[in-house]
């Protein structure tokens, strides 16, 4: 297969982990006989500094014309600490999702046996936890009508039937591929938008008779993820709830540096780690690149290149088992590995396999 990949490194540790992701993808393509061409583009704070726009039109064109986007991270403290800033790096992320029609965020939550001790939860609770969070990505409060003055502010949480139906369809279809259990998360006891979600989910459920469908208020779902994370198989929810729950789920594994994600929809899919830009670590060669590497695995799997994705996952597991790890997950007394060194080890493993 010939790949045309848009590479958006972004801010903070983004460029460092992006380099590793590209190296891993290149190694896999060479091994399996795929051709790959990369086109690099700016986004986030880097793009604001250069052209005043966190997702400039030129970057959109690069993404639109690619087969997939390998994205890293955006964000910078100088914007976080300025509530009056009119342009922010994260607006570029929202613009990318909206312009590319990326309405479904697919975020796996899984644990690694050798890292169970790193989880904030007891090992017996998280051992074997493996579920998928599917978040609606282009509707709700993040994109609804907004207003703010010195005395009043509001964000409108609006959803339409087509928006809800298409994301629920994604949820049901992933459940069919996995353990046939879908949990629809809402706040139907309070919010009208959630009642529409639940109504439509109940209408669609009979179309998937093999799937056990249950419904859970978001506060209960948040508790259940901590008390019994192995209960879940596939979870689907709206934008704001999904943003919060997926971040909550991400720490179950013990490190945000381990989990990838995919954003899919009407146009070019985007594959990215779930962690942020961690600007404090910029240039220190300590950022964990495994989430970026696993994002490349999801990219191959999206195109049904399952053997390629499986090899990347095998390489990541092997690196963890060999204690080739960045500082935040390294065992006490273990050798010191940085971002570059972990990436090089994984690339070498792929080439030798």
Tell me whether residue 127 is one of the annotated catalytic residues.
no
243 annotated to a ligand binding site: yes
Q: What burial class does residue 123 get, using C-beta atoms within 10 Å of its C-beta: 0-12 exposed, 13-18 middle, 19+ buried?
A: exposed
Instruction: Please tell me the distance from the alpha carbon of residue 311 to that of residue 246, in angstroms, as a whole number.
Output: 26
At which residue do the structure tokens 């583009």 appear? Answer: 41
219 annotated to a ligand binding site: yes
Instruction: Please tell me the distance from the alpha carbon of residue 206 to that of residue 169, in angstroms, as a whole number.
Output: 12
76 annotated to a ligand binding site: no
* H helix intervals, 160-274: 161-177, 192-204, 218-227, 239-250
Of residues 187, 208, 233, 349, which has the active-site annotation? 187
Instruction: Please tell me the distance from the alpha carbon of residue 60 to that of residue 41, in angstroms, as a whole number.
Output: 9
| 228 CB-near residues (< 8 Å, 6+ apart) | 125
Tell me whether residue 80 is one of the annotated catalytic residues.
no
Could you tell me how far CA 202 lies from the centroid of its own chain? 27
Residue 342 token pair = 């972990």
Instruction: Please tell me the distance from the alpha carbon of residue 314 to that of residue 293, in angstroms, as a whole number.
Output: 11
Of residues 49, 127, 130, 247, which has the active-site annotation? 247
Tell me whether residue 23 is one of the annotated catalytic residues.
no
Tell me whether residue 151 is one of the annotated catalytic residues.
no
Of residues 46, 60, 76, 142, which has the active-site annotation? 142
Beta bridge partners of 40: 7
Of residues 214, 219, 317, 348, which has the active-site annotation? 219
107 annotated to a ligand binding site: yes
| 81 CB-near residues (< 8 Å, 6+ apart) | none
Tell me whether residue 336 is one of the annotated catalytic residues.
no
348 annotated to a ligand binding site: no
List strand residue ranges (DSSP E) for 176-308, in order: 181-186, 212-217, 234-237, 260-264, 270-273
Of residues 127, 243, 302, 340, which has the active-site annotation? 243
Question: 3-state DSSP call for residue 338?
Answer: coil
97 annotated to a ligand binding site: yes
Question: 3-state DSSP call for residue 235?
Answer: strand
Which residues are annotated as part of the binding site?
97, 107, 135, 219, 243, 247
Catalytic residues: 142, 187, 219, 243, 247
Which residues are annotated as part of the binding site for Mg(2+)?
219, 243, 247
Which residues are annotated as part of the binding site for substrate?
97, 107, 135, 219
């Amino acid at each position: 297969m010939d790949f045309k990949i848009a590479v958006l490194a972004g801010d903070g540790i983004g460029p460092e982990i992006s380099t590793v992701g590209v190296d891993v993808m290149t190694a896999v393509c060479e091994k399996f006989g795929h051709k790959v061409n990369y086109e690099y583009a700016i986004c986030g704070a880097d793009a604001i500094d250069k052209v005043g726009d966190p997702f400039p039109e030129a970057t959109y064109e690069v993404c639109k014309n690619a087969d997939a986007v390998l994205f890293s991270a955006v964000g910078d403290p100088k914007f976080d600490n300025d509530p009056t800033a009119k342009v922010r790096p994260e607006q570029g992320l929202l613009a990318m999702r909206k312009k590319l029609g990326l309405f479904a965020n697919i975020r796996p939550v899984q644990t690694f046996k050798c890292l169970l001790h790193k989880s904030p939860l007891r090992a017996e609770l998280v051992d074997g936890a493996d579920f998928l969070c599917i978040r609606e990505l282009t509707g709700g409060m993040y994109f609804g009508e907004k207003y703010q003055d010195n005395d009043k502010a509001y964000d409108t949480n609006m959803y339409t039937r087509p928006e809800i139906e298409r994301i629920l369809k994604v949820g049901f279809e992933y459940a069919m591929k996995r353990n046939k259990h879908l949990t629809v998360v809402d706040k139907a006891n309070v919010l009208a938008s959630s009642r529409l979600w639940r109504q439509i989910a109940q209408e669609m459920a009979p179309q998937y008779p093999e799937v056990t469908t249950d419904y859970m208020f978001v506060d209960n779902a948040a508790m259940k993820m901590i008390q019994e994370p192995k209960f879940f198989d596939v979870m689907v929810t709206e934008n704001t709830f999904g943003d919060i729950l997926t971040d909550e789920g991400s720490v179950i594994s013990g490190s945000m540096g381990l989990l990838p994600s995919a954003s899919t929809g009407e146009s070019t899919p985007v594959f990215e780690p779930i962690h942020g830009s961690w600007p404090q670590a910029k240039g220190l060669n300590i950022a964990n690149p495994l989430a970026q590497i696993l994002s490349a695995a999801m990219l191959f799997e999206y195109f049904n290149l399952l053997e390629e994705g499986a090899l990347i996952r095998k390489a990541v597991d092997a690196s963890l088992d060999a204690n080739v790890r960045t500082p935040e997950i390294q065992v006490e007394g273990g050798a010191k590995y940085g971002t570059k060194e972990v990436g090089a080890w994984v690339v070498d493993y792929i080439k030798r396999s």
